[in-house]
Chains A and B, each alone.
Chain A
Amino acid sequence: DAKTTQPTSMDCAEGRAANLPCNHSTISGNEYVYWYRQIHSQGPQYIIHGLKNNETNEMASLIITEDRKSSTLILPHATLRDTAVYYCIVSPDNYGQNFVFGPGTRLSVLP
């Protein structure tokens, strides 16, 4: 499986956009990029996923570079409740596939 590299921590001002980068330079053609987050010690929560096109949903936007070697999760208007650990995961779209969660990025949204 491809590995991902994320910054250990980031800060963001409340109301501003939070841009979380992820490097996945060894991603394979059949692997998707997924983002989850974990608030405190709760169960991880799905945010968004994509293959090569940019994606947007009610929670966030996902920008994937043309060479697919990196991506950015964008929270357009961060709130204090968005403070969490954000995980970037790359994985094939197989039913039996196991997610591998790395250490993620700890995002602190500051008032």
Chain B
Amino acid sequence: EAQVTQNPRYLITVTGKKLTVTCSQNMNHEYMSWYRQDPGLGLRQIYYSMNVEVTDKGDVPEGYKVSRKEKRNFPLILESPSPNQTSLYFCASRMKGGLTRQPQHFGDGTRLSIL
């Protein structure tokens, strides 16, 4: 089954303790991205990657890092989490090519709470 898998689905942690949210897709997609969703603000893109070893900042990259060493994986790293990063996070992927040819596939989300 084609899917985007995020782990963990839920995490409560404390300020300053480094954490990584993993994202893996099994569709051989070139494009992957991370979004965060906050009440009243919709989904905002954090980082995206157009291929292996190619990453770029989205609209709200501060406080986050990503890496793309393999095509299928795109982890989101919070080196020193803070309470304002408490949010619902989504990973998405799609194939190379225009948006009209390849809709984005989203994971089921990771709910992070930073105390």
Of B31, B45, B50, B107, the residue contacting A43 (CB under 8 A) is B107
> Quick check: A98 and B100 within 8 Å, CB to CB?
no
| A54 contacts the other chain (CB 8 A) | no
Given contacts A96-B50, A103-B42, whether A44 and B98 have CB atoms under 8 Å apart is no
The total of chain B residues at the interface (CB under 8 A) is 31
Considering only residues 12-30 of chain B, those with a C-beta below 8 Å from chain A are none
Complex interface residues of chain A between 35 and 64 (CB less than 8 A to chain B): 41-46, 49, 51
Check A43 against B98 for contact (C-beta < 8 Å): no
Check A43 against B100 for contact (C-beta < 8 Å): no
A41–B98 touching, CB < 8 Å: no
Q: Mostly helix, strand, loop or mixed at chain B's interface?
A: strand
A-B pair count, CB < 8 Å, reads 67
Query: CB-defined interface of A76-111 with B at 8 Å, one 1/0 digit per residue?
Result: 000000000001000111111111111110000000
A101 → chain B, closest Cβ, in Å? 4
Does B8 have its Cβ within 8 Å of any Cβ on chain A?
no
Listed A/B pairs (16) with beta-carbon separation below 8 Å: A32-B100, A41-B88, A41-B109, A42-B108, A43-B105, A44-B104, A49-B100, A49-B103, A51-B100, A92-B99, A97-B99, A98-B45, A98-B58, A98-B59, A99-B43, A99-B99
> Which A residues form the contact surface with B (CB < 8 A)?
32, 34, 41-46, 49, 51, 87, 91-104
8 shortest A-B CB distances, which residue pairs?
Answer: A43-B106, A46-B103, A93-B98, A101-B43, A101-B42, A93-B100, A98-B45, A44-B106
Given A100-B42, A103-B42, 10 extra CB contacts under 8 A: A41-B88, A42-B106, A44-B106, A45-B106, A49-B99, A87-B42, A92-B99, A93-B100, A98-B59, A102-B42
